[in-house]
Structure 1
Amino acid sequence: MSEQNVSAVERALMILDAFTDQDADLSLKDLSERTGMYKSTLSRLAGTLESRGFLMISGRGRYRLGPALWRLGSIYRRSFRMDDIVRPHLAALVEESGETASFYVPEGSNRLCLFRENSSRSLRHHLEEGAILPTDRGAAGHVIRAWGNGIDDRALEVLQAGFAQSDGERDPDISAIAVPVLDRHKQMLGVLTLSGPASRFTSEVRLKALALLQSHALDCGRSLSA
């Protein structure tokens, strides 16, 4: 990103920071006084922020914070709540199964590893939180597609079974099993997954771990829906 673009971002953030609890709506003159920017610059930046939902403009020509900030704030608050609820389940799954436990959420057409608890074993499936992976490969990806917009035979099969397995689909040495975490309305909140080396985490071992995974997914979904 060029210095010019960085400067534009900083100025846009200054505009958003100008609003307070006491001053929920501001005129262009108010914004100019608080940010030290020319009205022409403010008008251009405010127009961009408005087009993206970060600002709203009233019929009186006064600006207010827009709905995009509410959406981001909701994600921010929810992520902390999810963290407190999901991480203990991941830790318990690792302790009870010996394999790596993860919590994935949809991210556009991909999936995001939101939370992760790696196995303590020296031979393990290691992945960093924040990793973006495809949904056409891997157990968690198949679950996300099945409970999202997947309509192929594999998605229908996963929906009927209530879980998905993968063996060397994304990484030839890794196997996994995944189940959806659903809210009280049966809407998907995320996916709980156990993964490990294919040589150890065989189909037989994965199926033995299924009940454990489903139990944690049920408790996790209830807590997140409370």
Structure 2
Amino acid sequence: MAKIGVDAVARALAILKAFGPERREMTLTELATATDLYKSTVLRLTATLEEGGFVTRGDDRLYRPGPELWRLGTLYRQSLDLGDLVRPTLHRLVDATGETASFYIRDGNQRICLYRVNSPRAVRHHLDEGQRLPLNRGAAGHVLAAYGEGTGASRKKVLAQGYYVSLGERDPEVAAAAVPVLDGQGKLRGALSVSAIRSRFDARAQKLALTSLKLEAQALVGLLPASEA
């Protein structure tokens, strides 16, 4: 009986997860297709979800997310400490690359190092949290500008490849790679970056950094609540 209960919950959650920015409303058939469940199963589960306020069904017979999800989402946003999500990410990046990892946000024409974990190496690129840097130089700056409201020359390139690598742009001895951090609705929340002494940030190191950055940024998509802006 316990296993049946767990399966039922998993199927109900699959129905809720089927909704998204591109699928805000669905028919019974579409829900069944999206979840790979029988229509009869979907119908039974949605009846319970509708009773609890997790889904609604309009006169047009379309299913939509219900108000209870908004209430729970609001509670999650209010209790969320961004640092609790980002700091473990930075530690994993340092472990994977051996270099300094940081998370930047944009503030006007500058970027702020909101969180960072410095490399354990004796010779390293050292950053302090709260440090302000220019937006038009450096990997994270180019990413924030491109995915924000920037119109710089690098914007098309950054958007096309989904990352930026800088070699001595801001400091001739420093190199970095950065990727955007987006929430579930595709809104820019910041930029993840790995920075190093330029002499050891060769093609192999760049590839490792970018692979690690992309994996961590993608993992954050599922953890960050959608921005209200």
Structures share fold, TM-score greater than 0.5 = yes
* Residues 90-117 of structure 1: per-residue CA shift (max 9 Å, x gap): 0011011100000000112210000000
Deviation at 1:140, TM superposition (A): 0.1
Alpha-carbon distance in structure 1 between the residues aligned to 2:78 and 2:177: 26
Report the counterpart of residue 177 of structure 1 in structure 2: 177
Q: Does 1:213 align with 2:208?
A: no
Whether contact under 8 Å (1:175, 1:202) holds in the other structure is no
Whole-Å Cα distance in 1 between the matches of residues 78 and 107 of structure 2?
Answer: 16
Identical columns (%): 46
Q: Whole-Å Cα distance in 2 between the matches of residues 140 and 126 of structure 1?
A: 15
3-state SS of 1:199 partner: helix
TM-score by length of 1: 0.63
1:153 and 1:136 map into 2 onto residues whose CA distance is 10
RMSD value over aligned CA atoms? 1.9
Q: Note closer, same or farther for the CA distance 1:97–1:152 as it changes in structure 2 (3 Å cut).
A: same
Q: Which SS does the other structure have where 1:209 is aligned?
A: helix
Say yes or no: does 1:153 pair with 2:149: no
Contact 2:184 2:224 in 1 (8 A): no
* SS, match of residue 114 in structure 1: strand
Q: Name the aligned partner's letter for residue 131 of structure 2.
A: A
1:169 to 1:126, Cα distance in 2 relative to 1, 3 A: same
Mapped partners of 1:192, 1:184: distance in 2: 16
1:91 maps to amino acid: H
Task: Give the TM-score of the pair, scaled to structure 2.
Answer: 0.63
Q: Deviations over 1:59-114 (max 9, x none)?
A: xxxxxxxxxxxxxxx9xx87961010000000011011100000000112210000
Distance in 2, matches of 1:109 and 1:199, equals: 29
The residue correspondences of 1:66-145 to structure 2 (distance < 5 A) are 81-145=81-145
Deviation at 1:153, TM superposition (A): 2.8
Unaligned residue ranges in structure 1 (runs of 5+): 1-73
Distance, in Å, in 1 between the alignment partners of 2:194 and 2:97 is 8
**Unpaired stretches in structure 2, ≥5 consecutive residues:** 1-73
Counterpart Cα distance in 2 of 1:192 and 1:132: 15
Q: 1:153 to 1:79 in 2, by over 3 A?
A: farther
